[in-house]
A and B are shown apart, each in its own frame.
Chain A
């Protein structure tokens, strides 16, 4: 099967061959000798973008024999107005394409933002690391000209409804266990290429971004009273692999390509600057109902352990048939590469593993392959700490700031969670409405068609 050209590039003119990227690459995809420009093995690469985050080989004012900046910006598909230094490792942008779509009056522009964007984008406007800015983010998107300011957090709640019920179904019907989370596209690609025999463990749920894509051009079109053909569906993600996911050929269950373009947090900052919007001074605005209403559970997807915590807040109540005693499940939070927990719900003891950083998944996967675990649920986030430290997030210039940013972005994520009226995905009133008015029930026929997917062994 031919997948898209979405990939990670290393600029041969800029790479000095220091090989620090190969130290953070979780899949040994970076090839080349020390001191020579490196290249990316696209079969192995999972497009997590950690190499982009660590790369310090930038186009310096001292470099005379390199292509002009204008040419590099154009090759990287970045806006010509971008002022930041250019580094050797990069992903191709989509901001010029989104800018053109925003100017197209024939299109109805819908946008979604991943939870991690609101705890990091302010950093690109000289605000403190980890500043929480969902209100400014919504305001900026509206000023840019998007017609519906929707949210990936809404479909994170929807993911919990589907994935939580899928887990319960697997538990009740002796299904394949442990079930793996499927919201991280780099993790999914990794399983497909390195552990294809474990594909049945992956939840069949699409990622929140792809669920949103499928809902925009169906339910969203119905709500807006417009033809789905006119909808331009954009996603703002902390991730360099989401472009790859959106381009997977099966991601067209709305009858169209579900997500037309994915831009990173950094590229949204470029668009905001390009439009002359003063982000730091924007008033707080809201995301639009119905597909932009979210619970705290949907918001914590971006931190390691967050998907698990959100799932438990719902699964506990479905299994135990009583409210969860405390929604703040501190025991699944943390920063260790592999964390395990046992959670009692009704007469079931759920055994859970949470993996932060794809390198740490190997030991868990090997023990599952060897039949040596009795786990029920495994969450894997490719980027250490989760999506808050994704490859598309603002790039820290100094290594010492990385740990600080990670800590503050994570703290803001949970602060936001605790300040939202609804803390559990199943309490989100728009989720209830969506099931009542459109989808029917979790794992129902319509859900199956729009919200679930299949995977491809890549060897």
Chain B
């Protein structure tokens, strides 16, 4: 078990009340799932669907769903949305092994009516107030996706994994139904964000720098809001076995930077030192998730004849 560590991001006093409020708001709306067969993305081994669900707002979100053909139940994988307007449908390799749901949160393509997210701009949209911050709804969108995935009769409830950035951590914390969590540490948005912003000028974190350069008086309010989303404060509720890829010393996914997060998880944490060889890293992480969920690994690095 990982040891607990002091964290530089302060947990808001009303953290639990805030997130309980999100759960209550979500519970007020039925998912009203509309599941439509997608012939184009269906294959001889998996059937694909376009899914629409209601989240808080109310707001209609979208998902790519793929279900293996044959007798289930099957292990399942929830892929939380990336930072950007587009998420690709589940990969061919994953569709052969898992029920897979990729969520498009509010503002992303296929879930961009009536709200179309701006890039850059989404990260700071309403950031002055945690009650109206766009990520409150975005986390709810992911929670709704988790509930929907878990409700499918084809899903083996003991073998559900989740992968993504901060959204995956928050989802695994609020819906403790996952056996395995892969945190995409290289693209975390909220972990120690107010410190991270001083160390990078790369977007999307640069959005916060842009905002505070123009409006320095908002610094305290922004810090208050983003603390609700820092995965370090969600991690204690995570029961899933967790994988943290760890980058170079000094990097924003480096070992010392991630230490507070690694130490905060409630469940077992494994660290994987990334090689920066994309094929090597993919195959190691794929095999890790496959072991957790009881399926075969699907390495993508091929050997040469």
**A and B part of one assembly:** no
**A interface with B by C-beta (< 8 Å):** none
